[in-house]
Amino acid sequence: MNRVVHPIEEESYRRLRARLDTSHFPPLTRAVVERVIHSAADLDYATDLVMAEADLAKAHAALHAGAPVVVDVEMVGAGITRRETVCRLKDAESGPGLTRSAHAIRLAHEQVGPGALWVIGNAPTALEELLTLDARPALVIGLPVGFVGAVESKAALRESGLPAVSNVSEKGGSAVAAAALNALLYHPTSAEEKL
């Protein structure tokens, strides 16, 4: 992907790296950590995020091979650049024991099947619902924000053994979830690196 980086973004990364040494992270982990920190101006994400480089490498390959990207809310989708996303929230309905966000995840799963990248930045109930499905994801970016259910849903994601990016605290949100996906989207593929 040919992407022109604006001078403001270049300066922002220079300042970030002047305040925080990220050189010890493997390449994709570093890309995710830095882009999330950049999106939130919050250096604490360097120790709050949880991910495995091997999972990121597989997800990076799947993403660049055209795997679908599912988001829990349109705001996450709006933050993901240069890639179409699936969001079924407009079609979803709440019901007894089921939030609209959870129903939207069910609808999206029916649409995309296994192998998608799931990006959840808003609703803990969306992440909880995803964990009940046989989604077989390429990656789950589970960064819902909030004081009710966010920490618990992210802990359940880590315990599930699914390939994931999550964090330990209540922090998260649409911008950081989109940033984590964009980090993988912007990171060059091996073919691009050879150019």
103 is known as an active-site residue? no
The residue written with tokens 């300066």 in the block is 11
- From the list 53, 61, 1, 66, the residue with the least C-alpha distance to 27 is 53
* Distances from the Cα of 129 to the Cα of 70, 97, 101, 107, angstroms: 13, 11, 9, 11
Question: How far apart, in whole angstroms, are the C-alpha atoms of residue 154 and residue 165?
Answer: 9
User: Which residues are paired to 164 by β-bridges?
Assistant: 140
Of the listed 6, 24, 38, 109, which one is catalytic? 38
**Which residues are designated catalytic?**
38
